[in-house]
Structure 1
Amino acid sequence: MRHPPRLSVLFTGAALVMASGAFAVTGTASGAAAAPLCTVEYSVAGQWAGGFQGAVTVTNNGSALNGWSLGFAFPAGQGVTQGWGAKWSQTGAAVTAGNESWNADLGTGAKVTAGFIASWSGANTAPTIFTLDGTPCATGPGPDPTPTTPPSPTVPTPTPTGPADPPGPVTGAPELTVTGNRLTDQRGATRRLLGVNRSGGEFMCVQGHGIFDGPVDDASVRAIADWKANTVRIPLNEECWLGLDNIRPEYRGSNYVDAVKGLVGRVLARGMTPVVELHWTYGQYTGNSSGCADVHASCQKPMPDARYSPAFWTSVANAFKSDRRIVFDLFNEPYPDRATPTTGQAWTCWRDGGTCPGIGYEVAGMQDLVDSVRATGARNLVLVPGIAYSNDLSQWLTQSPTDPTGNLAAAWHVYNFNTCSSEACWDSSLAPVAARVPLVAGEIGENTCGHAFIDRVMAWFDARALSYLGWTWNTWNCSSGPALITSYDGTPTGFGTGLRDHLRAQN
Structure 2
Amino acid sequence: MRHPARSPLLVFGAAAFALVGTAVAPVVTASGAAPACTVEYSVTSQWDNGFQGSVNITNNAAAVSSWSLTFDLVGGQKVTQGWNAKWSQSGTTVTAANESYNGSLGTGASVGAGFLASWSGSNTAPTAFRLNGTACNVDSEPSPDPPDPTDPPDPTDPPDPTDPPDPTGGPPVLKVSGNKLVDETGATRRLLGVNRSGGEFMCVQGHGIFDGPVDDASVKAIADWNANTVRIPLNEECWLGLSHIKPEYGGANYIAAVKALVAKVKAHGMTPMLELHWSHGQYTGNSAGCSDVYASCQKPMPNMRYTPTFWASVASTFKDDGTVVFDLFNEPYPDRATSTATQAWTCWRDGGTCPGIGFEVAGMQDLIDAIRGTGARNPILAGGLAYANDLSQWLTYKPTDPLGNLAAAWHVYNFNTCSNESCWSSTLAPVAAQVPLVAGEIGENTCAHSFIDRVMAWFDARGLSYLGWTWNTWDCGSGPALISNYNGTPTSFGIGLRDRLRSLDG
Task: Give the 3-state SS of the residue equivalent to 1:333 in structure 2.
Answer: coil
- Give secondary structure in 2 for the equivalent of 1:221: helix
- How many Å separate the matches in 1 of 2:190 and 2:274? 17
Q: C-alpha distance in 1, partners of 2:435/2:381?
A: 11
Give the structure 1 partner of residue 446 of structure 2.
448
Structure-2 residue corresponding to 1:46: none
Question: What is the CA deviation profile of residues 318-337 of structure 1, one whole-angstrom value per residue up to 9, with x for unaligned ones?
Answer: 00000000000000000000
Give 2:182's aligned amino acid: T
1:307-322 matches, cutoff 5 A: 307-322=305-320
Aligned to 2:163: none
Instruction: Provide the rounded CA distance (Å) in 2 between the counterparts of 1:437 and 1:459.
Output: 20
Partner of 2:375: 377
SS in 2 for 1:440: strand
Distance in 2 separating the partners of 1:325 and 1:275: 9
Alignment partner, residue 263 of structure 1: 261
**Residue type of the partner of 2:4?**
P
1:347-382 Cα distance to aligned partner (Å, 9 max, x none): 000000000000000000000000000000000000
Superposed counterparts of 1:360-399, under 5 Å:
360-399=358-397
Output the amino acid matched with 1:334: P
Separation in structure 2 between the aligned mates of residue 437 and residue 214 of structure 1, nearest angstrom: 35
Residue aligning to 1:506: 504
For 1:199 and 1:457, the matched residues in 2 are separated by 21
Within 2, Cα distance between the matches of 1:336 and 1:270? 37
**What letter matches 2:293 in structure 1?**
V
The match for 1:206 is 204
- Could you tell me how far 1:400 is from its partner in structure 2? 1.0
1:185 shift after superposition: 0.2
Q: Distance in 2 between matches of 1:427 and 1:246?
A: 45
Q: Deviations over 1:232-264 (max 9, x none)?
A: 000000000000001011100000000000000
- Alpha-carbon distance between aligned partners in 2 of 1:7 and 1:208, rounded to the nearest angstrom: 9
Q: Which residue of 2 aligns with 1:347?
A: 345
Instruction: Report the equivalent of 1:471.
Output: 469
Query: Which structure's CA Rg is the greater one?
Result: 2
Paired AA for residue 215 in structure 1: P
- In the other structure, the counterpart of 2:2 is 2
1:410 aligns with 2:408: yes
Secondary structure, aligned partner of 1:239? helix
Of 410, 416, 419 in structure 1, the residue corresponding to residue 417 of structure 2 is 419
In the alignment, residue 244 of structure 1 is paired with which amino acid?
L
Q: Which runs of 5+ in 2 are unaligned?
A: 9-167
Superimposed CA distance per residue, residues 20-43 of structure 1 (whole angstroms, 9 cap, x where no aligned partner): xxxxxxxxxxxxxxxxxxxxxxxx
Letter paired with 2:205: Q
Q: 2: distance between equivalents of 1:406 and 1:498?
A: 34
User: Separation in 2 of the partners of 1:217 and 1:394?
Assistant: 40
Identity of aligned residues (%): 77
- Give secondary structure in 2 for the equivalent of 1:173: coil
Q: Measure how far apart 1:172 and its partner are.
A: 3.1
Counterpart Cα distance in 2 of 1:491 and 1:212: 19
Structure 1 vs Structure 2 CA RMSD = 0.8
Distance 1:256 1:172 in 2: 24
User: What is the alpha-carbon distance in structure 2 between the residues aligned to residue 307 and residue 466 of structure 1?
Assistant: 35
For 1:485, which of 480, 483, 486 is the aligned residue?
483
Other-structure match for 1:72: none
- Equivalent-residue separation in structure 2 for 1:436 and 1:400 (angstroms): 11
Alpha-carbon distance, 1:7 to partner: 3.4
Mapping 1:229-268, distance limit 5 Å: 229-268=227-266
Q: How far apart, CA to CA, are the structure 1 residues paired with 2:429 and 2:502?
A: 26
SS at match of 2:173: coil
3-state DSSP of counterpart to 2:382: strand
Q: Distance in 1 between matches of 2:184 and 2:374?
A: 22
1:399 aligns to what SS in structure 2?
coil
> Helix, strand or coil for the counterpart of 1:204?
coil
Which of 221, 224, 229 aligns to 1:223? It is 221
Partners of 1:374 and 1:424 in 2: CA distance: 36
2:335 aligned with 1:330, yes or no? no
Task: Normalising by structure 2, report the TM-score.
Answer: 0.68
- Tell me how far 1:171 sits from its aligned partner: 4.7
Q: Distance in 2 between matches of 1:357 and 1:329?
A: 25
Residue 4 of structure 1, CA deviation: 1.3
Aligned-partner Cα distance in 2 for 1:454–1:498: 8
Q: Name the CA distance, whole Å, in 2 between partners of 1:241 and 1:484.
A: 27
- How big is the shift at 1:416? 0.2
| 1:193 alignment counterpart | 191
Superposed CA offset, 1:17-73 (max 9, x none): xxxxxxxxxxxxxxxxxxxxxxxxxxxxxxxxxxxxxxxxxxxxxxxxxxxxxxxxx
How far apart in 1 are the matches of 2:247 and 2:179? Answer: 43
* 1:457-503 Cα shifts (integer Å, max 9, x gaps): 00000000000000000000001110000000000000000000000
What is the count of residue pairs matched by the alignment?
A: 346
1:362 alignment partner AA: E
In structure 1, the gaps of 5 or more residues are 9-169
